[in-house]
Amino acid sequence: MSESENQLIEQATAARVRSVAPFSKFLVGAALQTDEGKVFTGCNVESASYGLTVCAERVAIWKALSEGERDFARLVIVADTEQLTPPCGTCRQIIWEFCKHATIVLANLHGQKEEVHIADLLPRAFDARFLREARQ
């Protein structure tokens, strides 16, 4: 694992403690690195209406997109779990649409880490190409 990747894990771990998770107590942090090396972090934010809760991955992605970034190299996700925690289904869809070429690093507070790719986490993904086909 590169020094850059270790720094991203540290940034995602720091973002994790800023989570607002009064209901689940499940804190997750994310760090999204652009191809140029700029980093956007995110933490999960819960709502009493669970449907309005936003995951750390999406927070980081929305922050980057809202700043005009479009090209991403790496997304690190950190949770305090024994098994490495993959992104939820909603986040997998958003990662596919906006970060499909980024390497995803799953990490926990026990020093475990694993690199995965979104195509492995979301096989046969739905995206805009299906919408174009439907209009033809």
Residue 54 Cα distances to 62, 68, 129, angstroms: 11, 20, 26
With contact defined as beta carbons under 8 Å apart, do 70 and 55 qualify?
no
Of 57, 67, 114, 133, the active-site residue reads 57
Q: Residue 57 catalytic?
A: yes
CA distance 6 to 2: 6
| Closest C-alpha to 28, from 110, 74, 86 | 86
Per-position b or e across 48-73, b if 16+ CB within 10 A of its CB:
eeeeebbbbbbbbbbebbeeebeebb
Residues designated as active site: 57
